[in-house]
Amino acid sequence: MRRVAIVGIGCSRFGELWDAGFRDIVLEAGIEALQDADLEGKEIEALYVGNMSGGKYIGQEHIASLIADYSGLAEFAIPATRVEAADASGGLALRQAYMAVASGLHDIVIAAGAEKVTDVGDPMDILSSAADQEWENFVGANLPAIFAIIARLHMKEFGTTEEDLALVSVKNHRNAVNNPKAQYRREIRVDDVLNSPYVAEPLKLLDCASVSDGAAAVILAEESIAKKITDTPVYIEACTQASDYLAIQNRKDILRMRSVVKAAEDAYRFARVEVSEINVVEVHDSFTIAEIMAYEDLGFAEKGEGARLIREGVTELDGDLPVNPSGGLKACGHAVGATGVRQAYEITLQLRGEAGKRQVEAEKGLALNIGGSGATAVVTIFGR
């Protein structure tokens, strides 16, 4: 397989973007990525876009062709493909683009993710369709409820506390202050989290990521071409995907996301790196318990020891393993289909040394994007 590098990145603002439509935010991210790579657009050979539910959120299907049309890429008749894996759609789009270049099928492609959610009354209801409709949602177990079950069991088994969960939220909000793309650029305190109303006990309002509007795009190129385009290529050293049972009732252990464990093991082996070599991480903190679970399932802590990392400051910007310097889904925002690509955008900034006040020292980064309650996981390892 050929080596693949990210040569251009772009990202819209994340948040309630009442002044912009779906096409506008996609175009904002795409133009920024092309300008970053100093490309015109005619060089792009294929487009892969992650989008969970355009049909329900904006009443529009055939999303990939829409984006190709509006961006001008349809002029070159390139193949445009939409992929869907709930909120792992962006990570999956990145993986499809990576495989297309690594295999030799294409030389330069674009991976994008986008979602416009604020035009509907209850965007979380649509997001919860990522759970099992018959065995979970029908009886009231939407995604907040499912993660609340996981959190409650984690507390019972390992002594994790609501204060531990609050520390995750506080950290990610503090990081987002210095992210101009973030939805919530303000600090919060542990007491703010603990005093916010319960959504599904023990998860409170400030333990939950909001569902946002937003788009992100990255341009991938084969190594020799990448070196001609940029002096700072960021290589994708591995991009792996794994699955688990959709309904948590069927899982062997609901405190271990097997999809994450397997995708991470495959990524470390494929990239030939040890866990200890990873310097910066973006994880899928749709709920604060999900970040603590990610510490464990990615191998940064033993099972049950995830809360220790947040208590001891290990995952702070100045810690040994900075996690979610962007603010994560919690504070940067969760634009569903865009999130996995937005994570790649952040890790690329970090490895280039272009992350401004949230910059950490890093040579290798990792991103984890999960779908629903973990039935899909995409793990990507990046290197300078």
Q: How confident is the model over 177-214, as pLDDT tens digits?
A: 999 999 999 999 999 999 999 999 999 999 999 999 99
Average pLDDT over residues 10-25: 96
Q: Do domains 4-122+212-235 and 123-208+236-383 have the same CATH topology?
A: yes
Q: Phi/psi of residue 113, each to 5°?
A: -145, 145
Q: How confident is the model over 150-170, as pLDDT tens digits?
A: 999 999 999 999 999 999 999
Q: How confident is the model over 281-291, as pLDDT tens digits?
A: 999 999 999 99
Average pLDDT over residues 121-127: 83
Question: Is pLDDT at 39 greater than 90 in this prediction?
Answer: yes
Mean pLDDT, the chain, rounded, equals 96
Are 310 and 164 in contact by the 8 Å Cβ rule? The answer is: yes
| CATH number for the domain formed by residue range(s) 123-208+236-383 | 3.40.47.10
Is 148 strand, coil or helix? helix
Going by pLDDT thresholds of 50, 70 and 90, the confidence category of residue 124 is confident
Q: How confident is the model over 65-115, as pLDDT tens digits?
A: 999 999 999 999 999 999 999 999 999 999 999 999 999 999 999 999 999
Burial (CB count <10 Å: 0-12, 13-18, 19+), residue 70? middle
Say whether the peptide bond before residue 202 is cis (omega within 30 degrees of 0).
Answer: yes
Question: Is pLDDT at 232 greater than 90 in this prediction?
Answer: yes
Length of the chain: 384
Question: Is pLDDT at 32 greater than 90 in this prediction?
Answer: yes
| CATH number for the domain formed by residue range(s) 4-122+212-235 | 3.40.47.10
What is the rounded distance in angstroms from the CA atom of residue 257 to the CA atom of residue 193? 25
- Residue 313's region, left for phi above 0, alpha for psi from -120 to 50, else beta, is left
Are 213 and 118 in contact by the 8 Å Cβ rule? The answer is: yes
Helix axes 288-297, 258-271, angle to 10 degrees: 50
Question: Is pLDDT at 121 greater than 90 in this prediction?
Answer: no
In sequence order, which residues have a C-beta less than 8 Å from that of residue 60 and are 6 or more positions away?
Answer: 22, 54, 66
Question: Is pLDDT at 125 greater than 90 in this prediction?
Answer: no
Q: What is the pLDDT of residue 57?
A: 93
Is 48 strand, coil or helix? strand
Listed by start position, the domains of the chain span 4-122+212-235, 123-208+236-383
In sequence order, which residues have a C-beta less than 8 Å from that of residue 19 and are 6 or more positions away?
Answer: none
Q: What is the pLDDT of residue 22?
A: 95
What is the rounded distance in angstroms from the CA atom of residue 169 to the CA atom of residue 192? 10
Amino acid (one-letter) located at 87: D
Going by pLDDT thresholds of 50, 70 and 90, the confidence category of residue 366 is very high
Q: What is the largest CA-CA distance in the chain?
A: 58
Going by pLDDT thresholds of 50, 70 and 90, the confidence category of residue 122 is confident
Average pLDDT over residues 344-350: 98
- pTM score > 0.85 for this model? yes
